[in-house]
Structure 1
Amino acid sequence: MRQHDTEVPDANATYVFAVCRDPDPSSCAGLPGVTHEAPVRLLALDSFTAIVQTVRARDFTDEAWQGRLSDQRELERYARAHHDVVSAVAAACPAVPLPMATVYHADERAQEALAKESDRFRVALKRIAHHAEWGVKVYAPPAATAAPDDAGRRAGRPVVPTDRGRPAAGAGLAYLERKRGAQRLRERSQEDALRTAETVDEQVGRLATASRRLRPHPQPSTDRRVQILNATYLVADRRSEELALLTRTLRERTGAQIELSGPWVPYSFVGEV
């Protein structure tokens, strides 16, 4: 979350959603943005156009945002409103999204600050033109763990009932062998999962223009799947069907659960202002 130049709480400020080149004015017409008090509009820069909205500066002070961070519903409302504007504009032309709550004291301040980033905008817009971001998550089933009796049967050893007070002969050694076998099984499962993750990332990466490996998301306690890859890829629009086919092929080849999501605005490949 970024904030700029909101030192006059009673004044208006300029909220910036994205920077693009030659946008269609109708792409943001009628969008509510982060406030219903002013329309989303275009702001001309030297070589680009910013998508902006006039907001009240007091709504974007550090104190105001600290309070908003503790209100999940209000924070989600702002995040959704910001994303809706960026998505609408990006659907019409390549657009570099700015972080939520990028706010300047006035249009002139926004123009001055954004002009300093013109080289980065130029490079980013060229890279993402006719591209979209796609997410790929790969899950492996939980490592198989054998019950002690099952492990003994698979090893060819009979399971001998014991008295309550006296273990069967060799029971301690058999227990240790089963523990070691279970550990080896877990290690092999983990190695297989890592190889699968690398295979998927390598294959999808060859098709993509750029990629980023992300930290795996923790799974809910009710979900026994293990996430072994969480990555995002910048893929040319003309290769989207090829991407879908590749993920289906990798599912069949590896046996892993592969989730493909997108297309999204390429937030991960434009950097931050």
Structure 2
Amino acid sequence: MTERGPELSGDTIYVFAVCRRPDPSVVVGLPGVTDEAPVRSLPLGALTAIVQSVRASDFTDEVWQARLSDQWELERYARAHHDVVAAVAACCPTVPLPMATLYHGEDRTREALAKETDRFDAALKRIARHAEWGVKVYAPPCPRDDTVRTAPRRVTPTERSRPAPGAGLAYLNRKRGAQERRERIQDEALRTAEEVDTEVRGLAAASRTLRPHVQPAGEHRVQVLNATYLVAEHRAGELALLTQTLRERTGAEIELSGPWVPYSFVGEV
């Protein structure tokens, strides 16, 4: 939906989100992605777009690619975009649009967004009075190789030159045992993750399983479930209670985060 390039000039419209019947005052004072124009509402028939006029020169392909490579600048834009979306979502169902969704002029903005009306309507109905919650499950740290170590005894020069009888086989058996314990712990963690996911999905209106995060260096726990759930607002208390019950029942480390704007459940718009 984004239009960017040499043809983008003059009155360029940055679109944050599409919603239904927002409180006009909710966008007052929001800085958005520029301090040169206010964030405002743009009527789209029964729907409303939340927009801001920006300078086209700030969003050419060259400038945007440079911004993507600047971590600080990218985070600044991401926070500014999310702050507007979150403020609007707090007062009405809201479909966030991807960062840097741009059109040339209000007429072109209305025309492009009108083509997606059915998809916006479906997404708004799906997320109305719902929020997104994240659930992460971690496997316990794998035990270190607890190979039996006994106090060394004095050995003769002759003994030093040859291994003790059966030493190699005993070492391999200990290593094999440690590997089997690690695999057993991992299997148990995966079964726990499946149990948690099944229980939470039973409470949620929709769910998505995401790629587990790679833990930072030095972090010994392993993430075995990274999922997000669309949960009705009136069931938030049930979700918190269920999560605590699952922690106590399984003994697993389970993280619950949210509520969030339901970015994961608005579809590709």
Matches within 5 A, 1:145-224: 145-149=144-148, 161=153, 163-224=159-220
The correspondence for 1:243, drawn from 239, 243, 267, is 239
2:52 match:
53
Deviations 1:97-121 (A, max 9, x none): 0000000011111100110111111
Distance 2:224 2:88 in 1: 34
| Matched residue type, 1:21 | R
Q: Which runs of 5+ in 1 are unaligned?
A: 151-157
Matches within 5 A, 1:120-135: 120-135=119-134
Q: Secondary structure at the match of 1:98?
A: strand
Distance 1:40 1:164 in 2: 80
Distance 2:76 2:266 in 1: 24
Deviations 1:64-89 (A, max 9, x none): 10110121111111100000000000
- In structure 2, relative to structure 1, the CA distance for the partners of 1:74 and 1:137 (3 Å cut) is same
**1:9 Cα deviation from its structure 2 partner:** 4.9
**1:6 Cα deviation from its structure 2 partner:** 4.7
Q: Secondary structure at the match of 1:212?
A: strand
Q: Could you tell me whether the CA contact under 8 Å between 1:99 and 1:272 is conserved in 2?
A: no
| Matched residue type, 1:146 | D
Distance 1:255 1:160 in 2: 39
Q: Could you tell me whether the CA contact under 8 Å between 1:160 and 1:168 is conserved in 2?
A: no
| Matched residue type, 1:70 | S
| Matched residue type, 1:91 | A
1:105 match:
104
Percent identity over the alignment is: 69
1:155 match:
none
> Does residue 77 of structure 1 match 2:73?
no
| Matched residue type, 1:213 | T
**Aligned pairs, number:** 265
When normalised by structure 1's length, the TM-score is 0.93
**1:188 Cα deviation from its structure 2 partner:** 0.8
**1:61 Cα deviation from its structure 2 partner:** 1.2
**1:5 Cα deviation from its structure 2 partner:** 4.9
Range with bigger deviation, 230-239 or 219-228? 219-228
Distance 1:96 1:54 in 2: 19
Q: Could you tell me whether the CA contact under 8 Å between 2:9 and 2:57 is conserved in 1?
A: yes
2:40 match:
41
Q: Which runs of 5+ in 2 are unaligned?
A: none
Deviations 1:192-219 (A, max 9, x none): 0110110111111111000000001111
| Matched residue type, 1:259 | E
Q: Secondary structure at the match of 2:175?
A: helix
RMSD, aligned CA:
1.6
Q: Could you tell me whether the CA contact under 8 Å between 2:8 and 2:104 is conserved in 1?
A: no
When normalised by structure 2's length, the TM-score is 0.94
Distance 1:167 1:36 in 2: 76
Q: Could you tell me whether the CA contact under 8 Å between 2:135 and 2:225 is conserved in 1?
A: yes
Q: Could you tell me whether the CA contact under 8 Å between 2:4 and 2:61 is conserved in 1?
A: no
Distance 1:12 1:63 in 2: 19
Distance 2:126 2:214 in 1: 31
Distance 1:74 1:187 in 2: 43
